Chain A
Amino acid sequence: MLEVQLSGSLRDAAGGAASISIDASTIRELLRKIVERYPRMQSRVDDGVAVSINGEIFRDNWGEHIPEGAEIFLLPRIPGG
């Protein structure tokens, strides 16, 4: 079971929760289960999110494996200049 920390305005879409418990082994599974539980999160995922796994930020590779007990943060997708 992963404890997923929600950052910034993403908490809004999860009813104000700062963290949620999800059982997932990849980013794709994680996002799918978050949206299943919090349908309002779908638009945030569509807008773009990033997932930090043990401090490493992944924006696009949804096949990335999530190790057991990893520190997980769901972050907004970050643009650059």
Chain B
Amino acid sequence: MAHDTSFTNQEFKVIGTRPPRPDGVDKVTGRAAYGADTFAPGQLVGLILRSPHAHAQIRKIDTSRAEKLKGVKAVITSDDLPDLTNGDRAMLDILENCMARGRALYDGHAVAAVAAIDAETARKALKLIKVDYKRLPHVTDVDEAVKPDAPIVQPYVRTAGVQPPPTKASNISQISEFGHGDVEAGFAQADFIVEESYKTEQTHQGYIEPHACLASVGPDGQGELWVTTQGHFTFRNQCAALLGMDVAKLKVTASEIGGGFGGKTHVWMEPVALALSRKANRPVKVVMSRDEVFRATGPTSSTSVDVKIGAKKNGRITAATATLRYQTGAFPGIWGMLGAMTAYACYDLKNVKTVGYNVLVNRPKVAAYRAPSAPMAAFAVESTIDLLAAKVGMEPVDFRIKNAAKKGTKASYGPTYGPIGIGPTLEAVKNHPHMRARLGKNQGRGMACGFWFNFGGQTCTDLNIGVDGTVNLTVGTVDVGGSRASLSLIAAEELGIPYERIKCNVADTSSLGHNDTTEGSRGTFSSGMATIFAARDAIEVLRERAAQTWEIDVKDVKWEGGRAVPKGVRHSNLGTLTLEELAAASPNTGGPIAGHNEVVADGAGVSFASHICDVEVDPETGATKVLRYTVVQDAGKAIHPDYVEGQLQGGAAQGIGWALNEEYIYGKDGRLQNPGFLDYRIPVCSDLPFIDTEILEIPNPNHPYGVRGVGETSIVPPLAAVGNAVSNAANVRLTHVPMSPPRILKAIKNRRSNATTG
């Protein structure tokens, strides 16, 4: 049944309050069960052998000695994962990423796996597997990979998006162009033009919980998978397809998740664990080490971006272009295209052209990282915007306000915007006390804005009322950021009962219809929508039960304040029936009381944020300290403001780490040099100030409560906001992320050297 999802501007009683999260006690006491925290009788330890080479032909794998080792119950290679994809190249890529098929495509690529009775035996078995590699030329740098003589990563890839279709293999899997107008004519009208090139290095989402799962497949073809994931329904569908299992016979349960940020939207070792279990006929647990997480899961792209923007003396931009080269790892991806779509989405431009290149390299398959691809594009564009504002002689915020997109603007990626929130976020930044705070020596302030799409997707929710009137809300979207709290608030609001009377659970895949992965900032938006309609469905049942009890027409019963209330004077002697009373009487009024909803939650609406950052740069060491940071975001209605603020702060913190420290470093041999948190430094509490937030509650017109996704946009501006702040503090433009101490020192020395020689 289709429901009207329009915003209704209703008054709220509990929405917008800040009760404790229902999973809080479990998490602070250690009772919460994460991916590695479950056990099965007779379970084995699964370990994976990984390629030490960036690119190599696998001539032979000899597993015979490992198989003979006492305690080893299964050894598998790609031979145990036959191609069942029926010509679906994208699925075959997923399978090949889980286990190399004839060639190792990156350092860390899985080549074999073992299941043994304990970790020690499994480790010994890995050492007994002999792989005969023939090393092949490799390429890990995005700019090197696009050169005509670069080693080819995937011989089947032909560049899409060019005419005529090429016949020769290339590392450029796709070229995508977006824009409108005449950029050459626009640049001809400009009084000032700035051109600059930028690079950003590869980063990992850095979730604290490594990938982990417990797989069990029986000889009857039925299986179970307990796994840390953002999308257990998607994992079920993909694992079943790759292993030739029936979807209904594979039950996947999502554990508590210790962070995902896009990295847990893909299967990595889960099909391998299931294949090991199937072969061993025993449950198999696989827990990745941090080294494996870095080398063999999905970091973000490293990029190389060229930007050119022109403006009139009055500050109006006349034309803008960007060429964006994003590496996608060893498999095709769409990350450069997304960079090209988002690069200028904040601006109202008559002439704009962006070209995105998706480029294969010998690195792990790239995965989404919170508003995937947008932060790197924003770094390049927003840095150039600051340079151009300076040339024009305007304050950066005023320059942005003058050129900001608004209702009726033709977005750089195509469509015409309806009502959008970039203008209000920029005005809020301009008027924020942070912008007037004084700066000291070697200190600088930067600001930047950012955009992300957001989306909804397939969602299914059950709401069951117990005999005591408490409520089980069953959802299928994994709780990655406090959604059980926000969804419980929504159910409480609709039913008119206290928040504490709701218990929200994330169902396994056999207990609920399909739910898309929790990505695209969709958790509270889409499951919230389904919860509203499931609760209203249950209220219809409650009204019917009350009507039955009173022996009156259901039309004469309304639901108000958590109770059934008869309408009209002629029923005024009936009193009211609370939810508890109706629930207690339910065995004799028709049985269990429940509500249900399935929805395709479109209409998520685009999202904008503007950030302010103050830093101090030590000119002797190049070290940067973030002094103050403010996030302003159009968040729609904040259901539980604590968790909205948490999302905005988390995105900013990750963006600051990306901007200043985090970086995949590859050696000339194509091997990752820093696969651990000692050498890959993410920010810790002592590195960061309190991150201030300002939520702009501009209602989403396509959600009954006005909810908008909030989880991703806040990572888009920080690279540029920090970059502009550091550049102002160091008095030199930084164009390479991360802006680590050596890069800042080098930039400062170059500036001094140029000043001396100039």
Query: Which residues of A does B touch, CB under 8 Å?
Result: 5, 7-9, 11-12, 16, 47, 52, 54-61, 64, 71, 73, 75-76, 78-81
Contacts and interface: CB of A to CB of B under 8 A. Distances in A.
Residue of A5, A57, A60, A80 with most partner-chain B CB within 10 A = A80
A8 B340 contact: yes
A56 B603 contact: yes
Contacts of A54: 415-416, 418
A63 B97 CA distance: 35
B608 interface: no
Contact of A8 (B177, B411, B520): B177
Contact of A81 (B174, B372, B418, B458): B372
Top-4 shortest CB links A-B: A80-B520, A81-B262, A8-B176, A81-B368
Contacts of B371: 80-81
Interface in B430-477: 453-458
A81 B415 contact: no
A51 to B, nearest CB: 10
B369 interface: yes
Given A76-B334, A78-B338, A79-B519, A52 B458 contact: no
A81 B605 CA distance: 16
Interface in B245-304: 261-262, 265
Contact of A9 (B261, B337, B453, B455): B337
A52 B606 CA distance: 12
Contacts of A9: 160-161, 174-176, 337
B133 interface: no
B602 A71 contact: no
Contacts of B160: 9, 12
Nearest to A52: B415
Residue of B334, B356, B369, B606 with most partner-chain A CB within 10 A = B334
B522 interface: yes
Nearest to B263: A81
A60 B416 contact: no
Interface string B147-176: 000000000000011110100000000111
B163 A59 contact: no
Residue of B174, B371, B600 with most partner-chain A CB within 10 A = B600
Nearest to A16: B163
Contacts of A64: 602
Contacts of B702: 56
Contact of B337 (A56, A61, A76): A76
Nearest to B408: A55
Contact of B453 (A58, A73, A78): A78
Given A8-B341, A9-B174, A80 B458 contact: no
A80 B413 contact: no
B265 A79 contact: yes
Contact of B178 (A8, A52, A80): A8
A55 B415 CA distance: 5
The B contact surface, by secondary structure, is: loop
B494 interface: no
Contacts of A81: 205, 261-262, 265, 368-372, 519-520, 711-712
A61 B602 CA distance: 7
Nearest to A7: B414
A60 B265 contact: no
B90 interface: yes
The A contact surface, by secondary structure, is: loop
A58 B265 CA distance: 21
Contacts of B418: 54-56
19 contacts: A7-B178, A7-B341, A8-B176, A8-B356, A9-B176, A47-B90, A52-B414, A54-B418, A55-B416, A59-B455, A60-B602, A64-B602, A75-B414, A76-B337, A78-B453, A79-B368, A80-B519, A80-B712, A81-B265
Given A5-B414, A8-B176, A55-B415, A79 B600 contact: no
B417 interface: yes
Contacts of B455: 57, 59, 78, 80
Contacts of B600: 60-61
A59 B337 CA distance: 17
Interface string B495-520: 00000000000000000000000011
Contacts of B228: none
Nearest to A50: B455
B521 interface: yes
Nearest to A47: B90
A22 B418 CA distance: 24
Given A57-B415, A64-B602, 7 more contacts: A9-B175, A16-B163, A52-B415, A78-B453, A80-B454, A80-B521, A81-B711
A54 B369 CA distance: 29
A59 B356 CA distance: 22
Nearest to B356: A8
Given A57-B455, A78-B338, A12 B163 contact: yes
A79 B178 CA distance: 18
Contacts of B711: 81
Given A8-B161, A52-B414, A71-B415, A60 B458 contact: yes
A74 to B, nearest CB: 9
A59 B457 contact: yes
Interface string B599-615: 01011111000000000
Nearest to B264: A81
A59 to B, nearest CB: 6
A12 B416 CA distance: 23
Nearest to A59: B455
Contact of B520 (A56, A61, A79): A79
Contacts of B177: 8
